[in-house]
Amino acid sequence: VTKEYQLAEWNRSLREITVGDCRYESCGQCGILDNYKGVKYHYEKPMPPLENRLPLIGDNKSGTGYEPVELSIIKEQKIPAQQKSRKSQGRRQSEPSGPVPVGFEDAANDNPALAALQPDVPVSRFRFMFEKWGDMRFLSHLEILRTFSRAIQRAGLRVEHTRGFNPHPKIVFSSALPVGVESRAEFVDIPLLETDGEFRILDVFRAIQNALPEGLRPWAAWKLAPGAKGVANSLLAAVYEIKIELDERNPAHQDNIEAAVLGVMASESIEMSRIRKGKTIIFDARPAIAGLETGKTAQGAEGKSFLELYLTLRYGDGTKPKVFDILATCLGLSPEECLRTQIRKIGVQRKAGLSRALENVI
């Protein structure tokens, strides 16, 4: 926005004048322009007389020479009919529907959301299966999204964005992984604009693989057919490998864990609670647990013994239990034992009939 607008806002704030909704009241000249459908501008209503205003810092009375700044709006200009009906990329473009605030006449040239429209080129959707290990396991779900967005830019590729005032990349990940958990089977759908012709999947795979940091390594990729379901609707369940450190001072520790595992699978309901937005939610975790079984006993570093468990959690709607919740509630592990437990996502189960939607698999 212009300096005049900022000064006027400062004067309004000192005079305790609120700015109303410009769809129904006067235009606040906030710079939104006509990007939102249905927003129309009105001529600004007269402001309160200066004698009724609050004292201003830097007012003329104090000898600084600053005057309150008032803004006006230029008269509404008629738009030619052919300009109103103009279409680009098969979508209707936003055209001015009212007067433009002073100082914003060329805003469309500076706002990438209004001016830098995506080219009308085909879009290819790719699905990547990648690993998350090492220090990368401490990245949150949002940080992983940012990392992939930057990697795509470094690879010289252009991802498809949403259409609107604040475009976002149409990158879709599978369900969020808990922070600190490694994974062998994370998925992401990336739609790329074919600005330089049709993509070769091998070239795209190598470009993104080389642009990602160590610890985020794609090891499989597909080119999705048109109309294929997104990754969020394609997966049925996730499989986790859990290594629990055994207490050598307690010989019955392993037996207790194995008995708890059998009790989980034999129970019809498992009640859990979770605090969300200050409220305690009670839910049944048993439908989400598709499988829980014990594996072999392995020796780790420093001669410690670990008991391997394999947990299968279903995806779906509603509140779902976390892996750490199952360890604490169902197996009776303390918070310290949960932190020492090694958890790794080793695979997923896809919904039936989705393999036909995949082609050019690497």
Neighbours of 341 (CB within 10 A): 18
Alpha helices in the chain (DSSP H): 3-14, 81-84, 107-110, 112-115, 141-154, 201-211, 253-266, 323-329, 335-340
Listed residue (328, 207, 198, 216) closest to 264, CA to CA: 328
* Residue 173 structure tokens: 């990940």
- Give the per-residue pLDDT at 278: 84
Phi-psi group of 108: left, alpha or beta (phi > 0 → left; psi -120 to 50 → alpha; rest → beta): alpha
Give the torsion through C-alpha atoms of 153, 107, 35, 42, to 10 deg: 160
Which own/partner pairs from 8-12 qualify as long-range (CB within 8 Å, at least 24 positions apart)? 8/69, 8/70, 8/71, 11/53, 11/56, 11/68, 11/69, 12/47
Kind and range of the H or E run holding 236: strand 235-245
Phi-psi group of 295: left, alpha or beta (phi > 0 → left; psi -120 to 50 → alpha; rest → beta): beta
Distance from C-alpha of 216 to C-alpha of 152, rounded to nearest angstrom: 13
Distance from C-alpha of 331 to C-alpha of 325, rounded to nearest angstrom: 9
Q: What are phi and psi of 40, to 5 degrees?
A: -125, 145
The low-confidence residues of the chain, meaning pLDDT below 70, are 22-29, 31-117, 301, 353-360
- Give the per-residue pLDDT at 94: 43
Render 265-301 in DSSP notation, one character per residue: HH-S--EEEEEETTEEEEEE-GGGEEEEEEEEEEE-G
In sequence order, the 6+-apart residues with CB closer than 8 A to the CB of 42 are 22, 25, 26, 27, 98
- Give the per-residue pLDDT at 27: 66
Task: State how beta strands 342-350 and 182-193 pair.
Answer: parallel
Alpha-carbon separation of residue 88 from 64, 84, 238 (angstroms)? 51, 12, 43
**Exposure string for 107-143, b = 16+ CB within 10 A, e = fewer:** bbeeeeebeeebeeeeebbbbbbbbbeeebbebeeee
Residue 155 identity (one-letter amino acid) = A
Q: What are phi and psi of 337, to 5 degrees?
A: -65, -35
Alpha-carbon separation of residue 139 from 144, 184, 220 (angstroms)? 6, 15, 21
- Give the per-residue pLDDT at 108: 44
Q: Which residue has the tokens 């993104």?
A: 208
Instruction: With beta carbons less than 8 A apart as the criterion, state whether 311 and 292 touch.
Output: yes
Q: Dump pLDDT digits (tens) for 193-217.
A: 988 888 888 999 999 999 999 999 9
Q: In angstroms, how far is CA 35 from the centroid of its own chain? A: 23
Listed residue (183, 189, 195) closest to 158, CA to CA: 195
Q: Dump pLDDT digits (tens) for 138-171.
A: 999 999 999 999 999 999 898 898 877 778 889 9
DSSP structural state of residue 30: -
